Amino acid sequence: MIQFACVGLDHRHIYGMTEGLLAAGAKCAGYYTRDEAEPLEGFIHRFPDVPRFESPEPLYQREDIQLIVCAGIPAERAEICIQAMRHGKDVMVDKPGLITQEQLRSVMQVREETGARYSIDFSEHFEVPATLKAKELIEQGAIGKVVQTVGLGPHRHNSHLRRPWFYEKAQYGGILIDIASHQIDQFLWLTGSRDAEIAASSVGNYANPTLPEFEDFGEIVLRSPTASGFIRVDWYTPDALPTWGDGRLFIQGTEGYLELRKYIDILGEEGKDHLMLVNQDRYERIDCSDVPITYFEQFLNDVTDRTEFTMTHEHCFTVCRLALEAQEKAVQLG
C-alpha cells in the first residue's frame, strides 16, 4: 500500500486530492500546514484520524511515505515539491504547481535529477467525467478532427473565505497562471497538441478596485500547428447560481461538435456532467455522471511502476510554461 502525506493545506482542493487517493487504496500517514490555513478545519472534519505534524521534515524523512500531496500557497508549492523530490518522494500538487519561470526551471531540473513522478492535478480535466467522455468521443472519431476549443472558467469569489495571500500577486501568480492553466491543459490534451503559442492574452480587475493586485478577469488566444483555442476565466459567478461556476467547454471538429456543461445546466437538466454531441448522424445529450474517475488510481500505478501513463512530464511542464507566458504577455485591462 502506498502511503502519502499532505504538506500545505491552503486550498480546498486538498479535500478532493486526499479523498481520491484514499478511495484509490492509498493511506494518508499525516499532514503539515500552517495554523491560519482556511481549509484546516474542514480537513480535520473530513479526515479526523489523520495525524498532524508540527513540521514537514519528519514527513519528508520517513521512508514508508512514498508520495507528498501539496495544496499550499501557490508561491510556496514549488519549494515544497522540490524538497519532497530531493527526499526521494513523488509529488501530486494542486494547480498552479508553480508561478515563476525560475520555479519551473528548478522543478524540472530536480525532477530530472531525482526521477520523481511529478503530477499537477488539473481537476477540471482529471476529476470531471464529462471531460473524460469528450476525449473518448474524440478518439472514436465522433466529431472528426478537432480544430478549436473554447474553454470558459468562471469562479465564485467567496471573499469571506479568502486569506490575504489570495490577493497578493507574488503569492498567487495571476489569474492566467492560476485558473487558466486548466483550460490550457484541456486544449493540448483534447486537440492532441504537444505545444502551442500564446497569440494574445489579457487580464483585468473590473469589480474589485480596492484590491489592486487582484485580477478578476483573464483571456487567452492560443494556437498549435493543428488547432486554435480561446480561454476566458473570471471571478464573477453570481450568488444566485447554485454552484461555484458555470464551467463550459466547446470543442469544434470537422464533422461535428461537443458542448460540455460541467457543473450545471442552467434551466435545463438536473445535476452536472452534461455533454451535448452533434455530428453528421445524430444530436444527443449524454449523461456522463457514471464515467469513472481514474486519475488517482492511475497515478498510484505510475508511482509503483515508474511510468507516465496518467500524464507525461512533458505535457505537465508545457502547460506550466504556456500559462507563465500568457501571464507575462498579458495586456492590462480595466
What mean pLDDT, rounded, does the chain reach? 97
CATH 3.40.50.970 fits 3-121, yes or no: no
State the cell numbers at 110.
530536480
* Amino acid making up residue 117: R
Domain 125-292+326-333 -> CATH class: alpha beta
Per-residue pLDDT of 267-314, as tens digits, reads 888 899 999 999 999 999 998 989 999 999 999 999 999 999 999 999
Per-residue pLDDT of 100-118, as tens digits, reads 999 999 999 999 999 999 9
Per-residue pLDDT of 139-177, as tens digits, reads 999 999 999 999 999 999 999 999 999 999 999 999 999
Give, in order, the Cα–Cα distances in Å from 30 to each of 57, 79, 299.
12, 19, 20
Q: Is the pTM of this model over 0.85?
A: yes
Q: Where in the chain is the domain with CATH 3.30.360.10?
A: 125-292+326-333
Q: What is the dihedral of CA 74, 76, 81, 82, to 10 degrees?
A: 140
Strand-pair partners of 287: 274
Q: What is the largest CA-CA distance in the chain?
A: 60
Q: Where in the chain is the domain with CATH 3.40.50.720?
A: 3-121
Residue with cell 473565505: 161
